Amino acid sequence: MIGIFEFPYTVLGSDIDELNHAANYHYLRWMQNAAVAHSSANGWGSQKYLALGSGWVARSHSIVYLKPAYEGNALIIKTWVSAVKSATSLRHYEIMHAGGEILAKAETSWAFIRFKTQKPTRIPHEVAKCFKLVEIT
């Protein structure tokens, strides 16, 4: 079970906006990709959620941008889960240069839903227990 997961990413030319740095909405995509990779690394990939008939959807995101990212930058997106309730979880992120300089801090509130009904459902124990809760102050 991996508590803090590190997802590497290199900023692509297609991530760059008219201000010559990574567009804000790409940070959200990087966060999503890191969350999916973390879940997969802990044994819960997309196929397993599909077989279960339930999985995660984002309820809300909060991102604080500190510094820009540029084409070719090697990044690390750190992510971890700090809380799991009956049908929700709170996931955090730090997006940084590979050298450690933090570019953004973020969090996402996730809801666990049944795919068929698109309604929240209780997180099964086997899903909840695969995420080691990490509290960083």
The string of pLDDT tens digits covering residues 37-52 is 999 999 999 999 999 9
Structural domain that includes position 14: 5-128
Residue 123 is predicted with a pLDDT of: 98
- Residues 1 and 74: their CA atoms lie apart, in Å, by 26
Total domain count, the chain:
1
Average pLDDT over residues 13-41: 97
* 129 band by pLDDT with thresholds 50, 70 and 90: very high
Beta strand 74-84 pairing with 88-97: antiparallel
Burial of 13 (0-12, 13-18, 19+ CB in 10 A): exposed
Q: Is residue 137 one of the residues assigned to a domain?
A: no
Q: In the predicted model, what is the mean pLDDT of the chain?
A: 97
What CATH number is attached to the domain comprising 86? 3.10.129.10
Residue 19 is predicted with a pLDDT of: 96
Q: Is residue 25 one of the residues assigned to a domain?
A: yes
Q: Is residue 135 one of the residues assigned to a domain?
A: no
